[in-house]
A and B are shown apart, each in its own frame.
Chain A
Amino acid sequence: KAGVTQTPRYLIKTRGQQVTLSCSPISGHRSVSWYQQTPGQGLQFLFEYFSETQRNKGNFPGRFSGRQFSNSRSEMNVSTLELGDSALYLCASSPGGSRAGANVLTFGAGSRLTVL
């Protein structure tokens, strides 16, 4: 079956702009999580959505937001981009159990954002 699909794969923005990234989970998966990966900070959790509701949130400023649609597809938005937002943004989907270890996360290939 198809894996997690993220679009776009690469994009370049300038400071102050905003960006929207899209994630299509594996069919039947209801949970979508987003992570930011940078050389300096590594992989950091942004947020998780389940049944169109944010279930968990990491320690990122309010410029980072997300949403999930009824078909489980998810988008994340970053407003007022800063140079430090340059990163690989990874989406992961899972069936959706809320207990730790209830699911194996399957990651997409990521969206590489460069902020100039």
Chain B
Amino acid sequence: GESVGLHLPTLSVQEGDNSIINCAYSNSASDYFIWYKQESGKGPQFIIDIRSNMDKRQGQRVTVLLNKTVKHLSLQIAATQPGDSAVYFCAENNAGNMLTFGGGTRLMVKP
């Protein structure tokens, strides 16, 4: 498949364990944040989002936590599955559809 990043930080987890992917953002004025998942050969796929007036938001097997004090975002994946293997990006959205993406983290799930 196509490589989306040759030197990405990698998180390796055992199938069934929980995964935590972290992201630091740069703009303290950002008011909307999104996590995307990108599988090889595909474009980024929306996972979950959160507004700056929230600290936590939960989806199906995923939770996003926002710490505005230290400009930190995290994505928690419960009971990680092989299908979760991908590159994960956080993004901040300040205006319209202009997203500023983080560098990405590669998640590898061991069976």
Name A residues whose Cβ lies closer than 8 Å to a Cβ of B.
Answer: 4, 31, 33, 35, 37, 39, 42-45, 48, 50, 55-56, 58, 88, 90, 92, 94, 98-101, 103-110, 112
Of B6, B7, B46, B101, the contact of A43 (CB 8 Å cutoff): B101
Q: Can you name 9 A-B pairs with beta carbons within 8 Å?
A: A31-B97, A33-B98, A33-B99, A39-B5, A43-B99, A58-B98, A100-B31, A100-B32, A101-B31
Inter-chain CA distance A51–B15, complex, in Å, is 46
State in angstroms the CA–CA spacing of A33 and B48 once bound together. 19
Contacts beyond the supplied A33-B98, A35-B101, A109-B41: 8 A-B pairs with Cβ under 8 Å: A42-B5, A42-B104, A56-B95, A56-B97, A103-B97, A104-B46, A105-B34, A110-B43
A108 to B4 alpha-carbon distance, docked (Å): 14
CA distance A108 to B3 in the complex (A): 16
B110 to chain A: closest CB distance in Å?
Answer: 24
- Whether B46 contacts A100 by the Cβ 8 Å rule is no
State whether A56 and B96 are in contact (beta carbons under 8 Å apart), knowing that A42-B103, A100-B31, A109-B43 are contacts in the complex. yes
Min CB distance B35 to A, Å, is 12
Interface residues of B (CB under 8 A from A): 2-7, 31-32, 34, 36, 41-46, 49, 51, 89, 91, 93-104
A-B interface pairs (CB < 8 A), number: 80
Whether B4 lies near A100 (C-beta < 8 A) is no
User: Which one of B46, B94, B97, B100 contacts A33 once the chains associate, using CB atoms below 8 Å?
Assistant: B97
Cα distance A56–B36 in the bound complex, in angstroms: 21
List chain B residues, Cβ under 8 A from A39. 3-7
3 tightest A-B CB contacts, nearest first: A107-B43, A101-B32, A43-B101
CB A12 to nearest CB in B, in angstroms, measures 14
Smallest CB-CB separation from A9: which chain B residue? Answer: B41
Contact A100:B95 (CB < 8 A) given known A4-B43, A37-B4, A39-B3: yes
Complex: A115 Cα to B73 Cα, angstroms = 36
Nearest-neighbour CB distance to chain A for B38, whole angstroms, equals 8
Known: A100-B94, A101-B51. A45 touches B100 (CB 8 A): yes
